[in-house]
Amino acid sequence: MPIREVITEGWSSLMRNRLRSVLTMLGIIWGLVTVVILLGYGQGVGISVLHAFTGIGNNVIMIWGGQTSMQAGGERAGKRVKLEYEDAQAVRDEVPILAAVSIEDDENLAYKYNNRVITMSTKGVQYPYGKMRKLQMEEGRYFEEADFIERRHVLIMGPNAAKKIFEGLPPTGLQVEVNGIQFTVIGVLALKIQDSSNNGPDNWNVFIPYETLREFYPPARDPDMIVFSPTSADLDKRALAAVRAVVAHRHNFDARDDKATPEWNTIDNTRELEQFSLALQVLLGLIGALTLGVGGVGVMNIMLVSVAERTREIGVKRAAGAKRRRILMEFFLEAMVLTLVSGLAGVAFALSACAAVNRIPLPDPFSGFPVTMRTAVIAFATLALVGILSALYPARRAAWLEPVEALRHE
């Protein structure tokens, strides 16, 4: 008998018991909706957490001065290491696998506008810093190289810092005193989603060319840290080791001594967050698969009931010459039709639910329920597995009934 005819016959059998079939289909629909929504939620949370963390910058690594823990060059362990202005240039010259290098110095400076004086966290930085740290401008402009060469008295403010100093006035172009020195505000940063920071989020910081800062503020003569980015994220370990070797040579400590120049490798943190995101999706996917499995048990039950109700019919078919394979295929396809129709309805409902949620204004940084091709493939693979396992046992039970015993069944 052609497969099309077998499918048609199986569908007719399901329609003879519509209420039972619909109730069984609801279990599959709910299970598949759970799989898609949980996978979408897990992916959305992972993307949101990663987005918020990478607000710190693009593949950023930072080192700062520490204290030696190993003997080197005839000196005992415990020597303080203080970075120098020239260290950054040496790193640029001697480490070719770096995409960008910048000094950073963090100070708390007094800002006076009209009669108000406010102390703000201030970063002295160099030109490559903005691209590394994702400093996007909302208004005005970013620094240009001439600002550093000519030691111009210009600054950029985070949006919250600007509101606090100027009380809501448009700050671009205004003059403000910084520790008694007149500066011009040349730009304001766009509001940034950032849950990781060094010495405060960028929204609350003020940025000044480092060469200008060290000229008028003596404590900033040497930087607090060196910020750099490798040409590729895969080179982070090599880049860190190479930078530390340059600094170690200049300050006479062992290049293997990571206590001498502690680091923050945000690339490592990003990898950990990606692993967390994957683990969360696997966990939520398993929960959804178990729910779908419960729906599969419902399909198996209804098919076993169908086999019991049609035992005499099976006996007649077997006595008329129907092979076991034909009986097996009939009940197997009947269960698969029930599962796949339910699955298509479940996918349609799940996609509609995710699309509805994604249209709602959501709090930053949550990105909603993204449904990717991978999510769809996982959902359908799980559905196919549940369908096969649910259909196989009842179909085999029907196919292996002995004709004589089946004909005796009342």
How confident is the model at residue 29, as a pLDDT? 83
Q: What is the spatial distance between Cα 84 and Cα 64, in angstroms, rounded to a whole number?
A: 10
Same domain, yes or no, for 256 and 306? Answer: no
Same domain, yes or no, for 158 and 33? Answer: no
How confident is the model at residue 243, as a pLDDT? 96
Range of the structural domain that residue 99 is part of: 61-266
How confident is the model at residue 71, as a pLDDT? 81
Is the distance from CB of 291 to CB of 68 less than 8 angstroms?
Answer: no
Is the distance from CB of 346 to CB of 30 less than 8 angstroms?
Answer: yes
Number of domains observed in the structure of the chain: 2
Pairing of strands 61-64, 225-230: antiparallel
291 sits in the region (left: phi over 0; alpha: psi -120 to 50; else beta) called: alpha
Out of 233, 249, 266, a domain closes at 266
Same domain, yes or no, for 224 and 306? Answer: no
How confident is the model at residue 262, as a pLDDT? 94
- Of residues 271, 268, 383, 304, the one with CA closest to residue 35: 383
Q: What is the spatial distance between Cα 162 and Cα 343, in angstroms, rounded to a whole number?
A: 54
- Of residues 226, 194, 212, the one with CA closest to residue 124: 212
Q: What is the spatial distance between Cα 121 and Cα 225, in angstroms, rounded to a whole number?
A: 15
Same domain, yes or no, for 336 and 219? Answer: no
Same domain, yes or no, for 206 and 90? Answer: yes
What count of Cα atoms within 13 Å lies in the side-chain half-sphere of residue 48?
Answer: 16
Same domain, yes or no, for 283 and 219? Answer: no
Same domain, yes or no, for 168 and 236? Answer: yes
Compute how many other C-beta atoms are within 10 angstroms of the C-beta atom of residue 402: 11
Compute how many other C-beta atoms are within 10 angstroms of the C-beta atom of residue 241: 13
Angle at 154 between CA 152 and CA 156, to 5 degrees: 145
Out of 214, 232, 266, a domain closes at 266
Out of 266, 296, 311, a domain closes at 266
- Of residues 272, 268, 228, 231, the one with CA closest to residue 64: 228
How confident is the model at residue 14, as a pLDDT? 63
How confident is the model at residue 2, as a pLDDT? 57
How confident is the model at residue 207, as a pLDDT? 97
Same domain, yes or no, for 251 and 115? Answer: yes
Q: What is the pTM of this model?
A: 0.77
Compute how many other C-beta atoms are within 10 angstroms of the C-beta atom of residue 222: 15
Residue with structure tokens 């172009």? 173
Same domain, yes or no, for 13 and 82? Answer: no
Q: What is the spatial distance between Cα 357 and Cα 342, in angstroms, rounded to a whole number?
A: 23
Same domain, yes or no, for 191 and 82? Answer: yes
Same domain, yes or no, for 256 and 130? Answer: yes
How confident is the model at residue 236, as a pLDDT? 94
Same domain, yes or no, for 96 and 239? Answer: yes
Q: What is the mean pLDDT of each run of 10 residues along the chain (410 residues)?
A: 59 68 80 83 83 84 91 77 94 95 95 93 95 94 95 96 92 94 95 80 95 93 95 94 94 90 92 88 84 78 72 69 74 76 83 82 71 74 77 73 59
